[in-house]
Amino acid sequence: MLDLENEIESLTNFKRNTADYLQQLHQTGTPLVLTVNGRAKVVVQDAVAYRRLLERAARADLAETVAAIRGGLADSAAGRVKPARKAVQTLAKKYGMTGGDDAL
């Protein structure tokens, strides 16, 4: 989570003190929000911290996918399923589409 008092700087200050900010980013691993005319415009982050962020996001996506698959398998095991043809026909009727029978 961003510390809004310590992790927001103007782009102008960042340009003037780039080396200092890069050292801070590397040491803390915490991103920095840069502003232009008082509005947030860009976030800069150390490459290692960014890679960790991407890895966490990928694991979260994988966990969601696995949970959805498990949910589908549980529905199937509990009999909460219908034939694909019937599902397509129901959707075609609901959305006023023709050719629902031809889709499968």
Q: Where are the domains of the chain?
A: 8-45, 47-79
The answer to pTM > 0.85 is no
* pLDDT class of 98 with cuts at 50, 70, 90: confident
Taking the C-alpha atoms of residue 25 and residue 44, their distance in angstroms, rounded to an integer, is 8
Asked if pLDDT for residue 104 goes beyond 80, the answer is no
Nearest CA among 22, 71, 17 for reference residue 48: 22
- What is the bridge-based pairing of β-strands 32-36 and 39-44? antiparallel
